[in-house]
Amino acid sequence: MIDALIHALPLVFAPMNFLAMVIGVVAGLVVGCLPGLTVVTGLAVLIPLTFGLDPLFALGMMAGMYNGGSYGGAIPAILMRVPGTPASVATVLDGYKMTQNGQAAYALQVALLSGVIGSVLSSLALIVLSPPLVSFSLLFGPIEYFWLGILGLATVSSLLGDDLPKGLIACGIGLLIGAVGQDISNGTERFTFGQLELLDGFSAIVLLTGLFAVPPVLQMVEEAVKTGMSGDKLKLHAQGSALRQWRYFTPVWLRSSVIGIIIGILPGAGGSMSSFLAYNEAKRVARKPETFGHGNPEGVAASECGNGADNAASLIPALALGIPGSGVAAVILGGLLVHGLRPGPQLFREHPDIVYGFMLQFLVTSLMLAVLGGLAATRIFGQVLRLPRIVLAPVILLFVTIGVYSVNNAVFDLWVLLGVGVVGYVLERLDYPSAPIVLGLLLGPMIESQLRLALTISGGRTAALVSTPIAITLALLSAAILLTPAWRKLRSAA
């Protein structure tokens, strides 16, 4: 592992890859600070733009956007009481109160420093914990990979929200989209309707972009917000150093980081859950819990540190096993596949420079955030908030259009983008979650091919699917995860 990290270092710090990380962090800050745009949207716009580029250039931008967007959400949360991302909702509680108390700059500083610390510890967890998990996955054959895919789909149950059938429908739609194209085992064309463009199935980039980038554009048009943020709110003055108070914040940072990392690793959790849990824990152990919600900087620190700590951690199961820990990780997984990088032992064996480079990029962009997201930068990037959001809607569309077109040089893809975008909008309005669609799309082909392979090897005996201890464990784990929501419901009803 150490060797691989050392080999990856020069690649990470190669001028172009370094520039990619800077661009990613800056773009992430902008995306994060714009209410209505999430990191997932930013990544969905970014992935087609990076298609055909060097993998580490593309992955550096993704890592930067993830970390930058994570903190970017805190800027409007603190200044405007509008969480830029779902994960910064808990930051609003004390952050905006601090702004009202005339401590906006200090609140931003606490948020930034806490986010950086959470992200750095999370990146270290990614580097340390992924390789052992990969070694374990070397024991896997087709049967185990089939169950691993099922386990990945089972995690959907925790991404479903409150509505089980809708989550399952979203997952089914993803599985079905994944089935479009030529069946690799016998050459049968499935649902191509004579279109040559569909022979290899739908392009994952086009689908991800349509699903996550077009609905926010339509929503911006619907909302038609014609005003931006007042410039007065962005005039920030120096208000003391959060860094000098490290002794005061250290316990909060450590607790919140541990919470964020654990939540990040758990499939389906993460994001707003880790920031809220970290916030609640800080409040629970505080000497004066009654001050939380009234401008306590510990509340901002806990929320932002927990939020930052689940970023890289959510990629631990994604990189090692191909199971994303969050919706963002699912999109990044899609980004990896787009660049021909299939997560799992093969990735670590064949492309150690890329996989360890990607991990290091998470660490570097976390640290970069401290510089690029500093108070001066917050002021500069915050200026984007002054633009009316309705003006930004077409801008997003322009970038998406050109990115998607350049994947296959095909106008056909633009129509697919449009169609998927409209369907994505409808699904969003009707509260069908989008993340299960991505999981279905990514895991469906693997499940089908591994199942067929397993059955062929075993001579068609279905009993072989539960013939190894790992397979039985994965099957039981999948069942447990699927049944958990029902069990919770029963318990709360009792």
Partner 1 sequence: MEVSGASAPTSRSLAEIVFAILLIAGAAAVIFTASGYPGESATYPVVIGAALAGLGCWVLVREVLRRLQGHATPGSFAEHAPRLAIGLVALVLYVLAVSLVGFILPSVALGVLLPASVGFRRWGLSFVVAVISVVSILLIFVLALERPIPPDILSPLGRLFR
> Which residues would be at the binding site for partner 1 (CB under 8 A)?
52-53, 165-166, 168-169, 172-173, 175-176, 179, 183, 185-186, 188, 190-191, 214, 217-219, 221-224, 226, 387-388, 390-395, 397-399, 401-402, 405-406, 409, 411, 414-415, 417-418, 421-422, 426, 429-430, 448, 452
Q: Which one, 391 or 472, has the nearer CB to partner 1?
A: 391
Say what angle helices 204-223 and 389-408 make with each other, to 10 degrees.
160
Interaxial angle between packed helices 435-457 and 142-154, expressed in degrees from 0 to 180 and rounded to the nearest 10? 160
Q: Which is nearer to partner 1, 288 or 386 (CB)?
A: 386
Tokens at residue 65, please?
């956007």
**Enclosing H/E stretch for 181:** strand 181-182
How far separated are the first and last CA of the chain, in Å rounded? Answer: 50
User: In the numeric block, which tokens belong to residue 330?
Assistant: 């699912």
User: Based on CB atoms, which residue is closest to partner 1, 340 or 460?
Assistant: 460
Closer to partner 1 by Cβ: residue 16 or 285: 16
Retrieve residue 150's tokens. 């099922």
Q: What single string gives the DSSP state of each residue in 109-123?
A: HHHHHHHHHHHHHHH
Q: How far is CA 174 from CA 105, 195, 204, 412, in A?
A: 44, 20, 11, 20
- Torsion angles phi and psi, residue 46, rounded to 5: -70, -40
- For residue 269, give the DSSP letter: -
Neighbours of 422 (CB within 10 A): 14
43 sits in the region (left: phi over 0; alpha: psi -120 to 50; else beta) called: alpha
Rg value, the chain, Cα = 22
Indicate the SS3 state at residue 189. Answer: strand
d(CA 220, CA 184): 41
Judge contact between 77 and 95, C-beta under 8 A: yes
How many CB atoms neighbour CB 177 within 10 A?
21
By C-beta, is 10 or 394 nearer to partner 1?
Answer: 394
